[in-house]
Structure 1
Amino acid sequence: MDYILINVHCDEPFSEILIAEMGLLDFDSFVETEAGFEAYINEAVFSHPAVQTLFNRYRKQTRIWYELKKVPKVNWNEEWEKNYDPIEVGDQVYIRATFHAPKPEVPYDIVINPKMSFGTGHHATTHQMVALQMGIDHQDKDVIDIGAGTGILAIMAAKLGAKSVAATDIDDWCIENAEENFGLNNITPAFVKQGVIADLKLTETYDIVLANINTNILLEEMEHYVNLMRDEAYLLLSGFYSFDQEQILEKAESLGLKKVKDSERNKWAALVLQKS
């Protein structure tokens, strides 16, 4: 049976949302691209009207353009391996898949199997978050990664010496993927929970909170992040464009946070904030 490939071009903050929605329409494989993502579905279960209805729902919020074509069934793992390259963050961090050879000379070796989850290190936001983590003392700290995706930031925290790491995400495949990746790195998390942070009603507090999501979610949820922070705790944020940094900062300052550091990469921004 052939597959249908839909090449979707959209604003980055909506890629993850659209992928989650298309997963509900029985799309079973996704590949990130510079302009958005590619989605694959078995031709036998494909409904073009359902896809059009989905995209029309979001066109008031973001630009969406797509092209559709039929492709023969292939070995997806083999295709993915051809196109997945390891990532280096400076000379300190090497992020690779299981089929890449390790680099013993690099201090922090992270092994992940991304599957359908975001957060491989290829995107500018994940790259910046990992780089900013390197500048914060994680030794014996409690850390939570909200919207964890692959779990890469929590894994980085553990490798930097965190006493405990926890992760949350709204998508079941991200939870499964994060758990698998924790195992690949011989890390036992305090928990990996599925759900919106407001609904999880977590009672623990943390020294470091990580959230690489998107502008709207960060603004909506930031108060919940602050409630999870101990005095002098750090909050690392990314997933927003540089032109959105001002409104992110305004919200943060209204909640008693101060900016410690910021960074920019390919028009994407990241922030380190601290609870005073």
Structure 2
Amino acid sequence: MNYVELDIQTESDFTEILMAELGEAGFESFVETDEGLLAYIQEEDFDETKIAEIVAKYQEMTTIATSWKSLERKNWNEEWEKSYEPIEVGDKIRVRAVFHEPNPSFQYDLLIQPKMSFGTGHHETTWLVMNEQLSLPHAGLSVMDVGCGTGILTILAYKLGATHLLGFDIDEWAVENTVENFAMNSLPEQAEVFQGTIDGVKPELVFGGILANINRNILLAEIPKYVQHLASGGWLVTSGFYETDQADIERCAEENGLKKLRSNTRNQWATVVFEKL
């Protein structure tokens, strides 16, 4: 399976909104550059027409130049690994690759093997969710990670005291990477990850906490399913959407018996935490 690297050259003020647009178009990972943005999508999902439509929306506000190329899996991973830098969430969480030295001043040290899966900590929404996890109860809970990416949120849940862990993703690379990252962080063998969607979760499984860092459309379609797997009084963290979509997410959640606890934004991306009544 090959990926396409889309190279967008534009002003830095427009990179965040372009990431949001490209995320809705199926792009999975992003790297900000001095010239603009690199975005990555599976080759079979790449649609040149969609790119042209996105560029046209902002062409009158700024200059945007685009080019793209197909990347083999090996080269794609190597390029990302070379550019990966540690991520810090406040003064408690540090996400680092295996080739970075640990920093003992951080309470939670998370190790990942960066392979371009969504959720390396660089994206604003991953940072937002991890920040919310710090103030949510985890001890002794079962936690489900929807669209787990690298498994970073599940790993943090374990370090915060969660005892039963389940993650899943539709991307086989993400699942492979999550398994690898679970092992590097010494998660128990019972921690499960599978390739698939919420429909692959056994109906009888109930969780005290659910992490759903996906995107607007999937959240709106699947929040009713998450609620079925959420224990009474349990929490649901949603993210992966732009703050302009927050009202739609909140309305859907409330219609399905969830109460909003709080929300936060970072560079126009949003996260909302709910509780099941």
Instruction: Tell me the TM-score normalised to structure 1 length.
Output: 0.81
- Aligned mates of 1:5, 1:273 — CA distance in 2: 36
> Among residues 14, 17, 20, which one is paired with 1:12 in the alignment?
20
Q: How many residues align?
A: 256
One-letter amino acid matched to 2:146: I
Closer, same or farther: CA 59–144 of 1 in aligned 2, 3 Å: farther
Which residue of 1 is the match for residue 49 of structure 2?
56
Is the partner of 2:205 in helix, strand or coil?
coil
- Aligned mates of 2:129, 2:88 — CA distance in 1: 13
Is the partner of 2:174 in helix, strand or coil?
helix
The answer to whether the 8 Å contact 1:13/1:215 transfers is no
- Aligned mates of 1:70, 1:229 — CA distance in 2: 42
One-letter amino acid matched to 2:196: G
Is the partner of 1:187 in helix, strand or coil?
coil
The answer to whether the 8 Å contact 2:80/2:116 transfers is no
Closer, same or farther: CA 272–6 of 1 in aligned 2, 3 Å: closer
Closer, same or farther: CA 163–254 of 1 in aligned 2, 3 Å: same
Is 2:248 aligned against 1:247? yes
- Among the aligned pairs, what percent are the same residue? 40
- Aligned mates of 1:139, 1:202 — CA distance in 2: 23
Q: CA deviation at 1:202?
A: 4.1
Which residue of 2 is the match for residue 260 of structure 1?
261
- Aligned mates of 1:243, 1:40 — CA distance in 2: 24
- Aligned mates of 1:146, 1:122 — CA distance in 2: 18
The answer to whether the 8 Å contact 1:13/1:213 transfers is no
Ranges in structure 1 where 5+ consecutive residues have no aligned partner = 21-29
The answer to whether the 8 Å contact 2:259/2:275 transfers is yes
Is the partner of 1:216 in helix, strand or coil?
helix
One-letter amino acid matched to 2:49: N
Which residue of 1 is the match for residue 141 of structure 2?
141
Closer, same or farther: CA 176–5 of 1 in aligned 2, 3 Å: closer
**TM alignment of 1:1-276, pairs within 5 A:** 6-7=6-7, 10-12=18-20, 14-15=22-23, 18-19=26-27, 32-33=31-32, 37-39=38-40, 54-56=47-49, 67-68=66-67, 79-188=79-188, 189-276=190-277
The answer to whether the 8 Å contact 2:145/2:168 transfers is yes
